[in-house]
Amino acid sequence: MSTGTPTIVLVGHGMVGQRFLEALAERGLTATHRVVVLCEEPRPAYDRVALTSYFSGKTPEELSMTDMEFINDHGIELYVGDPAVSVDREARKVTAKSGQVFEYDTLVLATGSFPFVPPVPNKDAEGCFVYRTIEDLLAIEEYAKTKATTGAVVGGGLLGLEAAGALKGLGLTSHIVEFAPRLMPVQVDEGGGAALLRTIEEMGLSVHTGVGTQEIVVGEDGAVTGMKLSDGSELATDLVVFSAGVRPRDQLARDCGLTVGERGGITVDEQCRTVADPHVFAIGECALASDGRVYGLVAPGYEQAETAAATIAADEASFTGADLSTKLKLLGVDVASFGDAHGATEDCLDVVYSDSRAGLYKKLVIGRDGTLLGGILVGDAEAYSTLKAFTGSVPPVSPESLVLPAGAGESAQLGPTALPDDAIICSCNNVRKGTIRGAVTEHNCTTVPEVKKCTKAGTTCGSCVKVLGQLVTAELEASGVEVDKGLCGCFGQTREELYEIVLALRINTYQDLLDRYGREDARGGDGCEICKPAVASIIASLAPTIGASGYVLDGEQAALQDSNDHFLANLQKNGSYSVVPRIPGGEITPEGLIVIGEIARDFGLYTKITGGQRIDMFGARVEQLPLIWARLVDAGFESGHAYGKALRTVKSCVGQTWCRYGVQDSVRMAIDLELRYRGLRSPHKLKSAVSGCARECAEAQSKDFGIIATSNGWNLYVGGNGGATPRHADLLAQDLTDAELIRLIDRFLMFYIRTADRLERTSTWLERIPGGLDHVRDVVVEDSLGICEELESLMADHVANYADEWATTINNPEKLARFVSFVNAPDTPDPVVGFVPERDQIKPDLPLLTIGHRPLEGSAQR
């Protein structure tokens, strides 16, 4: 037993362990106790929930959850790469792998869990991995880069789908093998699993459900070559990732005689104290809670960390169970479940909305008395926070209205202000609405970052930040505080207000606008990275009307643009650029295809046909861009504006010209529209499509403006969106003539550009703008505001003054001077931009991040 300053030893430094340290500090225990942390991994706590984001560019440092200033300020002794190997409970001593021995008064086990690997033959063969730590990801990345072309993930749960997405992102042909009859069997039901399956298969992943893994097949060199499945089939693969669940890491507890559950987990009471020893606590995934559960989510682990810290501080606290609701984004697909998601409650009813084409599935479980019991959301989880908060109560609107998409029937949108104060807003940190309101009213927090720091809400997965912002704004307004809705710190006006100022006063430079209408302390300055591109977009969209240059690299405009617009091309991950010529309506001649092929061959570019019916060419160095553009322009091509917040594409099917179902010439209409709106700068990118009949092959209802042919003309849909938050477009008008269609699109686009916020897609704008679709229809169809003539005039100015930015640039020697890797050595290519071969083309050659394994420096040690 230790003497002098009481000592707390924490074994394990993951997300839960770090939260425990923060809870100790909040209660002043780091000032009265010696705190020792033994961390097994070669790095301190990091965000394991966001682990997969490493493959999308996040570094281990960015994933870190450990502030070394916090560690040092609180005198915490942190030992990384030095796990505990034994515990002597009688002597109250912990021995670390390094041989160091630490006496303790209180021992806290936060050893987490380990991946379960099914006991199949050759499970440890070369090419078999688990998916748990950053080191696991580094090993998978290295193997995929050098020895694999196909990967298979064993397990179709949360982590399994993330692992499959990571393999696909590494360029592997990817498979998912799940023993259950559907993906994510714990979280979603059959309908939700079907919607998820369709969406994932559309991404190019192969899914095998209802089969188990019987054997890992290896070659003569001992490396993986395939998998034998329980249905007798064999899957060819050279990399296997096991993601079939986790098990509590309780071996240290077993070895020192602590009580563990029959299926694992260190048995603890409601204070998270082990039942066998009052001096030892267990928290997180290694703990078997008093309700008989081992919780595998971070939120219950945080609650246990808070409970243990409070108990050590002699405060009253208990952990009796936790909500298992989850909201995740898997492979870009929103998936959420809450409450009694599977309808286990007797005498309950289901309310279901399903749209298999859009990959949407929503189910609410409702009691006979109208009580919301739970639900499942796949493809669109926007309403998750609101629905979860009403679980266990009767919502103030009908259940049907809560699952219908915006614009459908009598759908209702319940805002966060309608929630009761005890509604949990941040489930990761168990923060209720009342606590957030109190941060504003009692602790004088006036911004979301201040509320996050005060309450911890929104500091883990971040899914509640949007709701957090709405609550902070509503509370400030209710308190009589004037809420600053300005664009940024430079301008007190909104983007819409700045647009009106620029239009009305014909202000045609950013500096003039800033000097005349910027905040007083911003006038005469240089502006910021928020307002400069936003104002640049406004000026570009109004350029002919206000007497400004529409060329984004002209004069002052060049200094205002985002990084991609600076070079009229999209910057890629290795420092090279992509070139995307416009192909209106997807129609291209054989000669045009040959030109693109020859350019790609001559410059060694990677080529890919996009979902927008264009051909992307990747891998151009900055100094090659003008050379490539010159050849494209000579062949009749122009910029496709893939780099700008502007019109991207207008897709089309082949329409009545070729298709036996077509009723209108969709290709001609798509070409006309793309040529009309090309180069139109807007708050966000714009996408469109034209379908030649109701079979909708061009997917027009997922676009910002989509057109579907009818036997009587055209139906116009607006406000659609694919991507991460899909939304079906709403019908604005039907059976339109060609002239009527174009006139309404002109009005709609210019009204959107005029009133939308910065970086706001039409889908979000349509749901935000007061009155929604009905108001937009009144304005652009019925001309209720009397501005349609002006909207049409603004569009006419744009059409009449369009000029191709690539052609303009290659004919301007002064502008060509910017297209070099090094200003002081213009003939020297960037040596960092490198490529390696893949599938008869190229891909970026990115060096793997190397990470040391030595103990962390800067840790306070006494």
Looking at 140-144, 224-228, 333-337, 508-512, which range is the least confident one? 333-337
For residue 204, tell me if it sits in a domain: yes
Contact 733, 715 (CB under 8 A): yes
Rounded average pLDDT over 437-444:
88
Single out the residue in 414, 431, 453 at which a domain terminates: 414
Average pLDDT over residues 572-580: 87
Q: Which residue has the higher pLDDT, 464 or 249?
A: 249
Q: How many CB atoms lie under 10 A from the CB of residue 263? A: 10
The CATH number linked to 371 is 3.30.390.30
Poorest-confidence range of 93-97, 255-259, 381-385? Answer: 381-385
| Cα diameter, the chain | 90
The residue among 396, 243, 423, 460 whose CA lies nearest residue 338 is 423
- % of the chain at pLDDT higher than 70: 94
- CATH number for the domain spanning 473: value is 1.10.10.1100
Which pLDDT tens digit goes with each residue over 194-210?
Answer: 888 888 888 888 999 99
> Which residues, in sequence order, are CB contacts of 301 under 8 Å at separation 6+?
15, 16, 19, 283, 284, 285, 295
- Is 856 among the domain residues? no
pLDDT at 858 over 50: no
pLDDT greater at residue 49 or residue 230: 230
Tell me, yes or no, whether 407 lies in a domain: yes
Residue 789: enclosing H or E segment and its boundaries?
helix 788-800
Give the integer Cα–Cα distance in Å for 170 and 341.
Answer: 34
pLDDT at 388 over 50: yes
Token digits for 46?
A: 């990091």
- The reply to whether 296 and 400 lie within a common domain is no
Any domain includes 86? yes
Virtual torsion, Cα 89, 90, 94, 97, nearest 10 deg: -90
CA separation for the pair 165, 183 (Å, rounded): 14
The mean of the pLDDT values for the chain is 88
835-838 and 841-844 as β-strands: parallel, antiparallel, unpaired? antiparallel
User: Contact, 70 vs 48, CB < 8 A?
Assistant: no
Is 234 in contact with 211 (CB distance < 8 Å)? no
- Name the pLDDT band for 426 (thresholds 50, 70, 90): confident
362 and 509 co-located in one domain: no
pLDDT tens readout for residues 28-48: 999 999 999 999 999 999 988
Residue 614 and residue 716 in one domain: no
Domain membership of residue 13 (yes or no) is yes
CA nearest neighbour of 580 among 622, 601, 610 = 610
Q: Which domain holds residue 761?
A: 646-797
pLDDT over 50 (residue 852): no
CA distance 732 to 719: 10
**508 close to 497: Cβ distance less than 8 angstroms:** no
The rounded distance, in Å, linking the Cα atoms of 92 and 107 is 8
Rounded distance between C-alpha atoms, residue 729 and residue 123, angstroms: 48
Q: Are residues 650 and 758 in the same domain?
A: yes
What's the DSSP call for residue 608?
A: E
Q: Which of 286-295, 349-358, 558-567 has the lowest mean pLDDT?
A: 558-567
What is the rounded distance in angstroms from the CA atom of residue 30 to the CA atom of residue 34? Answer: 7
Long-range contacts of 81-86 (CB under 8 A, 24+ apart): 81/39, 81/40, 81/41, 81/42, 81/853, 81/854, 81/855, 82/38, 82/39, 82/40, 82/855, 83/11, 83/38, 83/39, 83/40, 84/9, 84/11, 84/38, 84/252, 85/252, 86/252, 86/255, 86/256
Residue 413's pLDDT band (cuts 50, 70, 90): low
CATH of the domain at 581: 3.90.480.10
Q: What are phi and psi of 298, to 5 degrees?
A: -75, -35
On whether both 786 and 650 belong to a single domain, the answer is yes
Do 612 and 597 belong together in one domain?
yes
* Backbone φ and ψ of 727, nearest 5°: -145, 130
Q: How many domains does the chain fold into? A: 7
pLDDT value of position 258: 96
Strand order in the sheet with 84-88: 84-88, 93-96, 101-103
Mean pLDDT, rounded, for 158-173: 87
In a domain, 853, yes or no: no
Q: Are residues 787 and 717 in the same domain?
A: yes
pLDDT digits (tens, 9 = 90+) for 218-264: 999 999 999 999 999 999 999 999 998 889 999 999 999 999 999 89
Identify the pLDDT of residue 462: 66
Provide CB contacts within 8 A for 552, sequence distance 6+. Answer: 536, 540, 558, 561, 565, 568, 644, 681, 805
Task: Assess whether pLDDT exceeds 80 at residue 829.
Answer: no
Percent of the chain exceeding pLDDT 90 equals 56
Boundary-marking domain end, from 504, 528, 561: 561
Q: Examine the domain organization and report whether 586 and 550 are in the same domain.
A: no
DSSP 647-700: EEEEEE--HHHH-TT--S-HHHHHHHHHHHHTT-B-SS-EEEEEESSTT-TT-G
Are 232 and 289 contained in the same domain? no
pLDDT (mean) for 675-700: 94
88 against 336, higher pLDDT:
88
pLDDT at 857: 38
Domain with residue 188: its CATH number is 3.50.50.60
Task: Tell me what pLDDT residue 806 has.
Answer: 95
Q: State the CATH number of the domain containing residue 744.
A: 3.30.413.10
> Has residue 855 been placed in a domain?
no
Same domain membership, residue 655 and residue 785: yes
Average pLDDT score over residue span 384-410? 72
The C-alpha atoms of residue 41 and residue 224 are separated, in whole angstroms, by 27
Looking at the structure, do residues 547 and 529 belong to the same domain, yes or no?
A: yes
For residue 390, what are its two tokens?
């009403």
Question: Do 407 and 423 fall into the same domain?
Answer: no
Contact assessment for residue 389 and residue 424, using Cβ atoms and an 8 Å cutoff: yes
Judged by DSSP in three states, 251 sits in helix
Residue 862 lies in a domain: no
* CA-based radius of gyration for the chain: 30
